[in-house]
Amino acid sequence: MNQRIHLIAPLFALFFASSGVTFASNIASSSTCGSFFVDNDDDDQQHGSVKGRIITQDGQPAAFVTISVKGTAKGTTTSDDGSYQLRHLTIGEHTLVMSFVGLQTQKQTVTVQPGQTTQLDLTLQETAQQLGEVQVRGYKSANQVPVSVGKVAIKPLDLPQSVAVIDRDVLDRQQTLRLSDVLMNTNGVYVMGATGGYQEEIAGRGFAFNSSNTFKNGVRYNNGVMPEISSLERVEVLKGSAAILFGNVAAGGILNLVTKKPRFESGGQVAMRVGSFGFYKPSFDVYGGISQNVALRLNGTYENSRSFRDEVKGERIYVNPSLLVKLGNRTELLLEADYLKDSRTLDFGIGAINYTIPNIPRDRFLGTSWGYNRIEQASTTATLTHRLNDVWQVRATGGMQNFTSDLFGILRPNGNNQFIKTNGDWVRGLQRTGINETYWIGQVDLTGIFSTGGIKHTLLIGADADQYRTNTTAYTNLAVYDTINVFNPAKFRLRNDIPTLTARQLTQAPINRAGVYVQDLIALSEKWKVLAGLRWSYQQTGSTVTTLADSKASTVTTFDDAFTPRLGLVYQPRQTTALFVSYANSFAVNTGVDVAGNALPPSFINQYEAGIKNDLFNGFLSANATVYQIKNSNLAQTSLQNGNTNTNIKELAGEVTSRGVEVDVKSKTMRGISFLAGYSYNETRYTQSNTYIVGSLLRYNPNHTANASVFYTVQRSGFGQGVQLGLTAFYMGERMAGRSTRTTVANDAFRLIPLPAYSQLNASVGYVRPRYAIRANMTNLFDVLSYNVHDDNSINPIAPRQVSATLSWNW
């Protein structure tokens, strides 16, 4: 515990440092067209507020317009519907400066009255000189907003790859609590399991996302615990290959969780959420400038929850401080940290009987009330950004993360050869495992936007190095703890004491990685663009297994390196349409040895993707479609030479092929209405195998997923203004769990468990005012029953119908 506190404490100390550096702002003036009125939303008699809506000359909402208060550090940007609010302004006259690329920079003088909110609506004019270079309509479509997950700002319309972004507005409207709630807004990326009830296992395009595929602010994040959603500004999903940027990552894509950043505008929020089964969650978010060059943000939450599952409960504490320091006109330093402590009942669900899911009540708990999984995770990150000139920028990031877990409780059903019998009797065993993992990363990126002749370049050159130190302590399992009957809990008298298990083995698994990469987006003309890049990666993987009883140890070390290329072509027949094709190569490190005792080389995975991206109705609607094929042609499987049965001796004899299509639709807000929707089809099969049936499906991957959300906000003045309504529908297609049948084992007992498709509908309602918001939502309206399944031993029912409500106060 002290170690995690020491990681966070230095940032808290910096929050209270002061700076005497002054900041001057000189902005050119121009005429403004606007209207005023005053209401009494602000009850602070020493200050007042300004709010309003900005539109363009054609009447469309102007999103992302920067609004600054001249002579102060206060400022904000307009939202998707063009609305904005500046709170806690001193009384008297202020000059507001509005600016956006393609629009005339304008100034407007406004008088702030004590305890009042002044309404200021504006119409901005387009600048013809700027429109010669970039056509701007006052707001950007989903395909026009650059994403940070690619290490360099590239619009999705210029990127030969599928990207999805779920922003804070959607997270708030849907009152998302877990990452699984967020992924109801994406297609092709989904929850594949919920092992033990303490984590959500994610997959995409047929491939599991491990910790190497989950990032927070561009730095790898251990996804062995459910991340805290309240701290996020948005979630970015980059589908397909990301190996050129991040090295050894799974083929399906990556997730990047972007946390809330410091702001110079003072403000904050406190909120309280309550829900079904005794759930309550207070939270806070405070931000502001402590000088004209230093801004901070601090948010956090406490969560206490029961569950629809008998005897299951959870508790978590989270805090996320961040500090932004402007070291000069061209340099800024961003310091971020977070700390999470999560403790919850160990719950492996209801188990399977002869590879079928038994008819057991959804709320029946088969573990022990004292079983637990306790996790602590702390991280710190420092990012230094320096603009060398108007063309070149360098960004350096260093980060550290510590992750510990202590798992103690019942063995998984059907684990350790203790299968649930047909009559429901099950001999329960005990397990315990401890993990301590420390992770470091350093990376430097140089980006430049320049031209050579008539050809424009967006160049990225970078290098990174990271290191894992993972120590896993295994304890001697207790094969027989007691016996229960899953259909009739009263049949046996259950034990509730806590035996002592002895630590028996320590596994130390160091990983050292390094890579250098270069990527260039080349605009050959206004219509043709090429994205090309190459990465070289080096990875050293070790494993030292020590038997604690006699201190005997064995060590294995492997070394791998690989080149991973990327090539994409984009054709834009008009500014709002892009057609693309791309090829990318990634690699997966293998464990085990070949028949000669040599370490296995990595498996290489080829990915092909093609699609079309469209902005329709003047950018109101973005509609994209993608088709892809991902093929691992040298999958490592157990070697069959000379009748070998040692699973550590392998050969690159298998092939897995994933094919699919994805469709995404997302709108901007118009007259208070917005929506997003998507559909994906995926088929991931063994196309060659010496172990499994050729043509058989890989587990956990649904053939079909679909999602649709619609939101409505009452915008007209008067009664009902600020009311928000929303519906979210999610469809999960048929998929397989259990265990794939082995062709190499006579009379193999392994079987797959088919999981039927299901649909879930959620509804939300809210009343949002400048100072406060009341929101409520109901999930799983029709009380659908389904399961997240890992193998045949962690079969966790999805939650039934639940309701929650949140009251928040803003300043």
Q: What is the pLDDT of residue 6?
A: 42
Q: What is the pLDDT of residue 60?
A: 65
Residue 513 — very low, low, confident or very high, per pLDDT cuts 50/70/90?
A: very high
Q: How many CB atoms lie within 10 A of CB 472?
A: 16
Q: What is the pLDDT of residue 57?
A: 67
Pairing of strands 528-547, 117-124: unpaired
Residues 6+ apart with CB under 8 A from 276: 308, 802, 803, 804
- The lowest-confidence range among 117-131, 331-345, 691-705 is 117-131
Q: Is there a domain that residue 54 lies in?
A: yes
Show the CA angle centred on residue 375, arms to residues 373 and 378, nearest 5°. Answer: 175
Top-confidence residue, 141 or 752: 752
SS3 state of residue 327: coil
Q: What is the pLDDT of residue 349?
A: 93
Q: Is there a domain that residue 143 lies in?
A: no
Residue from 291, 302, 295 nearest 322 by CA = 295
Residues 6+ apart with CB under 8 A from 421: 353
Residue 596 — very low, low, confident or very high, per pLDDT cuts 50/70/90?
A: confident
Residues 6+ apart with CB under 8 A from 495: 368, 481, 482
Across the chain, how many H-helices and E-strands are there? Answer: 5, 43
Q: Mean pLDDT score of the chain, rounded to an integer? A: 87
Instruction: Give the integer Cα–Cα distance in Å for 314 and 362.
Output: 18
Mean pLDDT of 274-303: 95
Q: Decide if pLDDT at 613 tops 90.
A: yes
Residue from 658, 648, 655 nearest 608 by CA = 658
Residue 27 — very low, low, confident or very high, per pLDDT cuts 50/70/90?
A: very low
**Rounded to the nearest 5°, which phi and psi values hold at 714?**
-75, 115
Instruction: Give the integer Cα–Cα distance in Å for 757 and 755.
Output: 7
How does pLDDT run across 664-681, given as a tens digit for each residue? 999 988 888 999 999 999
Q: Is there a domain that residue 284 lies in?
A: yes
Q: What is the pLDDT of residue 459?
A: 95
How does pLDDT run across 548-564, given as a tens digit for each residue? 999 899 888 888 888 99
- Determine contact, residues 733/770, Cβ cutoff 8 Å: no
**Boundary-marking domain end, from 69, 100, 131:** 131
The reply to whether 255 and 273 lie within a common domain is: no
Stretch (H or E) spanning 663: strand 650-667
Domain extent, residue 109, equals 31-131
Instruction: Give the integer Cα–Cα distance in Å for 539 and 537.
Output: 7
The reply to whether 414 and 471 lie within a common domain is: yes
Residue from 74, 148, 165, 51 nearest 624 by CA = 165
Q: Decide if pLDDT at 13 tops 50.
A: no
Instruction: Give the integer Cα–Cα distance in Å for 413 and 354.
Output: 12
- For the CA atoms of the chain, what is the radius of gyration? 28
Q: Decide if pLDDT at 533 tops 50.
A: yes
Instruction: Give the integer Cα–Cα distance in Å for 750 and 760.
Output: 31
Stretch (H or E) spanning 171: helix 168-174
Under DSSP, the state recorded for 721 is T
Instruction: Give the integer Cα–Cα distance in Å for 755 and 735.
Output: 5
The full length of the chain comes to 811
Under DSSP, the state recorded for 180 is H
Give residue 601's Cα distance to chain centre: 31
Q: Which residues pair with 11 in a beta bridge?
A: none
Highest mean pLDDT among 57-66, 279-288, 582-591: 279-288
The reply to whether 620 and 602 lie within a common domain is: yes
In 261-366, where do the E strands start and end?
267-275, 279-289, 294-306, 313-326, 331-345
Residue 247 — very low, low, confident or very high, per pLDDT cuts 50/70/90?
A: confident
Highest mean pLDDT among 128-137, 251-260, 524-533: 524-533
- And the tokens for 302? 């406490």
Q: Which residues pair with 611 in a beta bridge?
A: 580, 626
Q: What percent of the chain has pLDDT over 70?
A: 91
- Determine contact, residues 435/471, Cβ cutoff 8 Å: yes
- The lowest-confidence range among 18-27, 322-331, 374-383, 591-600 is 18-27
The reply to whether 602 and 489 lie within a common domain is: yes
- The lowest-confidence range among 22-31, 140-149, 518-527, 578-587 is 22-31
Pairing of strands 603-616, 577-588: antiparallel
Q: What is the pLDDT of residue 395?
A: 96
Stretch (H or E) spanning 469: strand 455-475
Q: Is there a domain that residue 142 lies in?
A: no
The reply to whether 171 and 51 lie within a common domain is: no
Top-confidence residue, 69 or 279: 279
The reply to whether 191 and 251 lie within a common domain is: yes
Q: What is the pLDDT of residue 24?
A: 33
Q: Which residues pair with 489 in a beta bridge?
A: none
Residue from 636, 631, 666, 632 nearest 651 by CA = 636
- The lowest-confidence range among 117-126, 198-207, 618-627 is 117-126
> Domain holding 55: CATH number?
2.60.40.1120
Under DSSP, the state recorded for 228 is P
- Determine contact, residues 94/70, Cβ cutoff 8 Å: yes
Q: What is the pLDDT of residue 102?
A: 53
> Domain holding 233: CATH number?
2.170.130.10
SS3 state of residue 179: helix
Q: What is the pLDDT of residue 70?
A: 85
For the chain, give the longest Cα–Cα distance. 89
295 burial (CB, 10 Å; 0-12 / 13-18 / 19+) is buried
In 486-640, where do the E strands start and end?
503-523, 528-547, 552-574, 577-588, 603-616, 621-638
Instruction: Give the integer Cα–Cα distance in Å for 354 and 344.
Output: 29
Mean pLDDT of 173-181: 93
How does pLDDT run across 185-214, given as a tens digit for each residue? 998 899 988 888 888 999 999 988 887 889
The reply to whether 475 and 435 lie within a common domain is: yes
- And the tokens for 36? 């005023």
Q: What percent of the chain has pLDDT over 90?
A: 59
Mean pLDDT of 222-246: 90
Mean pLDDT of 506-535: 95
Residue 15 — very low, low, confident or very high, per pLDDT cuts 50/70/90?
A: very low
Under DSSP, the state recorded for 317 is E
**Boundary-marking domain end, from 213, 239, 259:** 259
Instruction: Give the integer Cα–Cα distance in Å for 590 and 584.
Output: 20
Instruction: Give the integer Cα–Cα distance in Å for 523 and 564.
Output: 23
Residue from 563, 458, 529 nearest 152 by CA = 458
- Determine contact, residues 392/447, Cβ cutoff 8 Å: yes
SS3 state of residue 174: helix
Q: How many CB atoms lie within 10 A of CB 329?
A: 8
Q: What is the pLDDT of residue 594?
A: 80
Q: Decide if pLDDT at 36 tops 60.
A: no
Mean pLDDT of 586-609: 85
CA distances to 159, 526, 565, 750 from 529, rounded to whole Å, are 9, 8, 17, 50
CA distances to 263, 273, 307, 369, 804 from 313, rounded to whole Å, are 36, 17, 6, 9, 17
Q: Decide if pLDDT at 316 tops 90.
A: yes
Instruction: Give the integer Cα–Cα distance in Å for 580 and 209.
Output: 25
Mean pLDDT of 518-544: 94
Instruction: Give the integer Cα–Cα distance in Å for 560 and 147.
Output: 31
Q: Decide if pLDDT at 340 tops 80.
A: yes
**Rounded to the nearest 5°, which phi and psi values hold at 477?**
-70, 150
SS3 state of residue 656: strand
With residues binned 3-state (H G I as helix, E B as strand, rest as coil), the percentages for the chain, rounded to 5, are: 5, 60, 35
Instruction: Give the integer Cα–Cα distance in Å for 298 and 261.
Output: 9
The reply to whether 344 and 327 lie within a common domain is: yes
Q: What is the pLDDT of residue 44?
A: 56
Q: Decide if pLDDT at 804 tops 60.
A: yes
Split into its structural domains, the chain has a count of: 3
Residue from 702, 754, 752, 699 nearest 731 by CA = 702
Q: Is there a domain that residue 2 lies in?
A: no
Q: Is there a domain that residue 285 lies in?
A: yes
The reply to whether 314 and 454 lie within a common domain is: yes
Residue matched to tokens 């007209």: 716
Q: How many CB atoms lie within 10 A of CB 500?
A: 7
Instruction: Give the integer Cα–Cα distance in Å for 665 and 339.
Output: 36
The reply to whether 223 and 279 lie within a common domain is: no
Mean pLDDT of 717-729: 89
Dihedral (CA of 177, 179, 181, 186) sign? positive
Give residue 512's Cα distance to chain centre: 25
The reply to whether 685 and 579 lie within a common domain is: yes
Q: What is the pLDDT of residue 66?
A: 81
Instruction: Give the integer Cα–Cα distance in Å for 287 and 344.
Output: 31
- Determine contact, residues 401/377, Cβ cutoff 8 Å: yes
Instruction: Give the integer Cα–Cα distance in Å for 693 and 193.
Output: 23
Half-sphere exposure of 126 (CA within 13 A, CB side): 17
Residue from 671, 764, 664, 620 nearest 169 by CA = 764
**Boundary-marking domain end, from 68, 101, 131:** 131
Top-confidence residue, 71 or 519: 519
The reply to whether 559 and 694 lie within a common domain is: yes
Mean pLDDT of 234-252: 86
Q: Is there a domain that residue 7 lies in?
A: no
Residue 80 — very low, low, confident or very high, per pLDDT cuts 50/70/90?
A: low
Q: What is the pLDDT of residue 721?
A: 85
Instruction: Give the integer Cα–Cα distance in Å for 347 and 368.
Output: 9
- And the tokens for 134? 């970039």
Instruction: Give the integer Cα–Cα distance in Å for 530 and 532.
Output: 6
Q: Is there a domain that residue 779 lies in?
A: yes
